[in-house]
């Protein structure tokens, strides 16, 4: 049997009842977190550019466009919602593998509304999406040298959305294999190494398109199309198409049902690139211990991974997307009580005080940081703060808040984050109702769970 068919058989056999309680609970929290990011992200400049464009090419459908009164065809709703969710850079994270939920949850929610799925079926489909996506990423992870030349996340994470939507349509293993075979024809190219050129695009990882592409592939199977049922197999398999120079097929199914990658996925407390979070954690620890503000600072020095030093200390950001990848800016916001915890704001880009504080922040490479980043997926950072009185304070961290093994960011924090993000857009009452519905998702249909969204 081919690897592709073996994976399709395994995915097709996944059921809600076999999943551990911890996995089910994590899936619901990830949905809650992601819906909050969609709703808040819908108000950003990037979303206000994308959603009207999609509205012009969509005649209406069953699927919610979060944060708006619109409903689209599932492919376009998932495109809009995936794009919105990425705008505040607060969506979930798996270090070195980006934001896996953003190429799973928007598609799954859109199709679940279309088929009037049960909450249990949606949860199982989302778990399947995380497992398939992150196992594929692990199997085809490039060497460090190739990754510096060719990289892309939505390129392969599109299979997470394909898996989730295939399960919601109750595909057979053969149909899932067909969908996998068609999916690469709708995947974005691995454009990551060109991402940081200025201006940085609001498409970011282009997860919106990955959601749309996956739903399109699945819909074509529903119309009778067939795909290559050996898409993951051989020297010309998908891994080679996606630009990787390495593929370890055993990782696709290793310990399936024992190791759950969804449990290793972290929540983000700050609306900047996950790679910056340990530096923010360090600064916050020092602020809590020593009670200083921006006026007390003579200078701050951040030591971290060489890639971060190279890419995250460039020209002053001209947009919130650029700001999400700028270490001095992110730290200066903390010192001015403008934390990115509720997302980045356009107005702060022109704050002269923030800019003056950021100018006192310097970066350099931390010894051995590159090794632990690439080999262990850790995010080492050392932050040294020199006060006006000449005293220097230092803190170090390797695992950010919200990541497994890092400072806790559990259910209470995720719920609070959701309410903070959603309430200004849909109102406090609707946000509270929606939160409760999503936390009780296993007992509801998806349409009923999302009813508070229709009140916006």
Label residue 453 by pLDDT band (50, 70, 90): confident
Taking each helix axis from N to C terminus, what angle separates 21-41 and 119-139, rounded to the nearest 10 degrees?
90
Label residue 144 by pLDDT band (50, 70, 90): confident
The domains of the chain, with CATH numbers, are 3-264 (1.10.4100.10), 274-397 (3.30.1330.120)
**Is residue 198 over pLDDT 90?**
no
Residue with tokens 């950072």: 381
Tens digit of pLDDT for each residue in 100-123?
999 999 999 999 999 999 999 999
Judge whether 365 and 309 are in contact, CB under 8 Å.
yes
Tens digit of pLDDT for each residue in 345-376?
999 999 999 999 999 999 999 999 999 998 89
Label residue 414 by pLDDT band (50, 70, 90): very high
Q: How far apart are CA 51 and CA 356, in angstroms?
A: 36
Q: Which residues contact 249 (CB under 8 A, 6 or more apart)?
A: 3, 139, 232, 233
Q: How far apart are CA 24 and CA 32, in angstroms?
A: 13
In angstroms, the Cα distances linking 70 to 62, 76, 241 are: 10, 11, 36
pTM: 0.96
Percent of the chain with pLDDT strictly greater than 90: 93
Q: How far apart are CA 165 and CA 111, in angstroms?
A: 6
Tens digit of pLDDT for each residue in 25-59?
999 999 999 999 999 999 999 999 999 999 999 98
**pLDDT for residue 77:** 98
**Is residue 449 over pLDDT 80?**
yes
Judge whether 110 and 215 are in contact, CB under 8 Å.
yes
Label residue 455 by pLDDT band (50, 70, 90): low
Q: How far apart are CA 194 and CA 187, in angstroms?
A: 17
Label residue 456 by pLDDT band (50, 70, 90): low
Q: Which residues contact 197 (CB under 8 A, 6 or more apart)?
A: none
Label residue 196 by pLDDT band (50, 70, 90): confident
Tokens found for residue 288: 């809590």
**pLDDT for residue 197:** 84
- Residue 348: CA count within 13 A, CB half-sphere: 24
Tens digit of pLDDT for each residue in 209-266?
999 999 999 999 999 999 999 999 999 999 999 999 999 999 999 999 999 999 999 9
Strands 361-365 and 381-387: unpaired
**Is residue 84 over pLDDT 80?**
yes
Tens digit of pLDDT for each residue in 149-179?
999 999 999 999 999 999 999 999 999 999 9
Mean of the per-residue pLDDT values for the chain? 96
Q: How far apart are CA 315 and CA 137, in angstroms?
A: 32
Considering only residues 25 and 1, tell me which one the structure prediction assigns the higher pLDDT. Answer: 25
């Amino acid at each position: 049997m081919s690897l592709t068919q073996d994976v399709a058989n395994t995915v097709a056999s996944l059921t809600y009842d076999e999943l551990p309680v911890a996995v089910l609970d994590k899936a619901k929290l990830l949905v809650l977190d992601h819906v909050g990011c969609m709703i808040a992200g819908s108000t950003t400049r990037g979303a206000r550019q994308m959603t009207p464009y999609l509205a012009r090419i969509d005649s209406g459908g069953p699927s919610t466009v979060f944060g708006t009164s619109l409903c689209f065809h599932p492919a376009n709703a998932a495109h809009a919602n995936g794009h919105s969710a990425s705008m505040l850079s607060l969506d979930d994270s798996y270090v070195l593998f980006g934001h896996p939920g953003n190429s799973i949850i928007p598609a799954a929610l859109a199709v679940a509304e279309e088929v009037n799925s049960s909450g249990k079926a949606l949860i199982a489909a989302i778990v399947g999406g995380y497992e398939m996506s992150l196992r594929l990423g692990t199997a085809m992870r490039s060497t460090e040298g190739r990754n510096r030349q060719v990289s892309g996340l939505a390129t392969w994470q599109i299979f997470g959305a394909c898996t989730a939507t295939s399960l919601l349509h109750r595909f057979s293993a053969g149909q899932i294999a067909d969908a996998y075979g068609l999916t690469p024809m709708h995947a974005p190219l691995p454009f990551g190494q060109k991402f940081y050129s200025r201006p940085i695009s609001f498409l970011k990882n282009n997860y919106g398109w990955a959601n749309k592409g996956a739903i399109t592939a699945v819909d074509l199977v529903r119309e009778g199309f067939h795909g290559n049922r050996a898409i993951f197999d051989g020297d010309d398999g998908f891994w080679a198409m996606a630009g990787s120079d390495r593929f370890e097929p055993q990782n696709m199914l290793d310990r399936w049902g024992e190791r759950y990658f969804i449990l290793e996925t972290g929540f983000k407390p700050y609306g900047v690139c996950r790679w910056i979070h340990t530096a923010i954690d360090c600064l916050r620890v020092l602020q809590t211990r020593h009670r200083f503000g921006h006026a007390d600072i003579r200078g701050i020095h951040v030591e971290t991974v060489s890639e971060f030093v190279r890419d995250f200390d460039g020209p002053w950001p001209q947009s919130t997307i650029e700001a999400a990848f700028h270490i001095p800016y992110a730290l200066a916001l903390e010192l001015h009580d403008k934390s990115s915890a509720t997302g980045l704001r356009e107005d702060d880009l022109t704050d002269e005080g923030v800019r003056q504080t950021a100018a006192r922040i310097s970066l350099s490479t931390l010894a051995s940081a590159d090794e632990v980043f690439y080999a262990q997926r850790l995010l080492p950072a050392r932050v040294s703060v020199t006060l006006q009185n000449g005293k220097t304070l230092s803190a170090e961290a390797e695992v950010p808040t919200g990541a497994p093994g890092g400072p806790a960011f559990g259910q209470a924090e995720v719920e609070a984050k959701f309410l903070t993000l959603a309430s200004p857009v849909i109102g406090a009452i609707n946000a509270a109702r929606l939160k409760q519905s999503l936390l009780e998702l296993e007992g509801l249909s998806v349409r009923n769970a999302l009813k508070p969204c229709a009140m916006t």
